[in-house]
Amino acid sequence: MSRAIAIGYLARVSAGNVNASHTEGNVVVTKKVTLPDGSMVPYISGQAIRRMLRDRLADLGYALSEPFATVSGQEVTPPVRPWEFVDEDLFGYLDPSGGRRRTSPVRVSAAVGLFPFQGDRDLGTRSFERFGHAMEVGGNMFETELYANLFKGALLIELDRVGIFAPLELGEKQERSLDSSERRRRLQNLLEALNLLWGGGRTARLLSDLSPKFIAYARLDAKHPVFLEALAARYEDGHYVLDLAPLTNALDRFGRYCEQTLFGVEPGIFGNEAEIRAALAGYGEVLTVHEALNRAKADVNALWNGSSA
């Protein structure tokens, strides 16, 4: 029986600062993590990715729970109606009284840059002349750290919890559940939200497309983030080159748990595209990203109807 879906993806940012840290003086600092060799790579927090997925689900027509929450001081009490609100179902909630809590069935990693941060900055200016003052009054300047990078991210979806709400999660005596068709629809729209992924800060002037340029999808009979540490790349001759050894090793190691495996490769992104397709063909279909996500939706459509779970 299928218990989870594991997804690994790569997203390209040509020039951006998707998820900033604090401000140092007049510099907006990007979030970074330090590697063992002392170099730093940018990352986009899992919280930011979850926010973007929520927003894209709203774009797809879902009502989110946040407008219906009760705010009292620093406490936010959610409506706790996960059968009604897709974000409460997929991303969980916490009642500050401690009585009702749902752990997210959709686990999201930070999106971590694969290449070191180079210290680039974008210079912004604001002239007070535009606000009716003399040019001599001047204005102010600010800087924003930015990067060009390839980010790896992962999702792990607990299939046996999507659309299933335990009594303790609701503060009720009996479990509630959605019908299978609604559970499938929510998962399919989550995949579409990933396909439409964008967001973060500074989108007015540093808009970034975070939709996958490579994706690996596996439906599993065990729960494990198969692709979390399996994606790596290098840069050669003006193209990204996907390192295949970590990925094929993960597929070999966890292959006995995989009930369905799909891959999507965006054309023109990877210098070794032909090698990628040849190496992965033995593990599952290798399609374009769009085709792979559509095939993944079709795979989800077979869940809970007797054919796959």
pLDDT band at 139 (very low <50, low <70, confident <90, very high): low
pLDDT band at 142 (very low <50, low <70, confident <90, very high): confident
Element (DSSP H or E) covering residue 280 = helix 273-280
Any bridge partners for residue 261, and if so which? Answer: 218
Confidence (pLDDT) at 99: 80
Q: 140-154, 176-190, 215-229, 265-279: which range is least confident on average?
A: 140-154
Whole-model pTM?
Answer: 0.93
Does residue 262 surpass a pLDDT of 60?
A: yes
Share of the chain above pLDDT 70, in %: 94
Domain ranges within the chain, ordered by starting residue: 4-114+150-300
Region 294-300: mean pLDDT is 97
Cβ atoms of residues 269 and 224 within 8 Å: no
What is the C-alpha separation between 178 and 182, in angstroms, rounded? 6
Most distant CA pair in the chain, distance = 75
Does residue 201 surpass a pLDDT of 90?
A: no
Does residue 307 surpass a pLDDT of 50?
A: no
Kindly report, residue by residue over 32-54, the tens digit of the pLDDT: 999 999 999 999 999 999 999 99
Does residue 132 surpass a pLDDT of 70?
A: no
pLDDT band at 23 (very low <50, low <70, confident <90, very high): confident
What is the C-alpha separation between 17 and 43, in angstroms, rounded? 9
Confidence (pLDDT) at 53: 98
Q: 71-80, 161-170, 180-189: which range is least confident on average?
A: 71-80
Q: What is the mean pLDDT of the chain?
A: 93
Tokens 């993960």 found at: 250
Kindly report, residue by residue over 77-126, the tens digit of the pLDDT: 999 999 999 999 999 999 998 789 999 999 999 999 999 999 999 888 77
Region 70-79: mean pLDDT is 90
Tokens 């054309």 found at: 267
What is the C-alpha separation between 20 and 113, in angstroms, rounded? 14
Does residue 127 surpass a pLDDT of 70?
A: no
Confidence (pLDDT) at 137: 57
Confidence (pLDDT) at 123: 86
Collapse the DSSP code of 42 into the 3-class scheme (helix H, G, I; strand E, B; otherwise coil) and give the result.
strand
The first and second tokens of residue 210, run together, are 């975070």
pLDDT band at 308 (very low <50, low <70, confident <90, very high): very low
Radius of gyration of the chain (CA): 22
